[in-house]
């Protein structure tokens, strides 16, 4: 169960990170609310997962999922350029996250 919560929390990290960028310094209400709710839910899930999973592994997986999804979403929406190098580097992060799960 902790792994499922950790993955969902990683997804929520991408949500709040994207919302933070779209809030334009907290000047837009909608993205600011999404940021706040996403941040609290993401941190709560990370804290829950850390009850049973190692802190280092939990944090690395959480950040990895959030970072990859944030960049992938930005590429998909055209806010970030797409390149083979970026895709390879994101795949390496995903490989690291999977590796951490497999070695746990």
Q: How confident is the chain (104 residues) per 10-residue block, as mean pLDDT?
A: 97 98 97 98 98 95 97 97 97 94 85
The whole-number pLDDT of residue 104 equals 75
The whole-number pLDDT of residue 43 equals 98
Among 25, 95, 28, which residue's Cα sits nearest to residue 60? 95
What is the DSSP track for the chain? -HHHHHHHHHHHHHHHHHHHHHTTTTTSHHHHHHHHHHHHHHHHHHHHHTTTS-HHHHHHHHHHHHHHHHHHHHHHTTSS---HHHHHHHHHHHHHHHHHHHH-
Specify the pTM: 0.91
């Amino acid at each position: 169960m902790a792994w499922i919560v950790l993955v969902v929390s990683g997804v929520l990290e991408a949500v709040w990170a994207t919302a933070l960028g779209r809030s334009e310094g907290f000047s837009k209400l909608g993205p600011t609310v999404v940021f706040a709710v996403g941040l609290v839910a993401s941190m709560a899930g990370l804290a829950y997962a850390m009850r049973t999973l190692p802190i280092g592994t939990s944090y690395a997986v959480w950040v990895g999922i959030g970072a990859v999804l944030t960049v992938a979403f930005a590429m998909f929406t055209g806010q970030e350029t797409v390149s083979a190098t970026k895709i390879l580097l994101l795949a390496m992060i995903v490989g690291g996250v999977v590796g951490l799960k497999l070695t746990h």
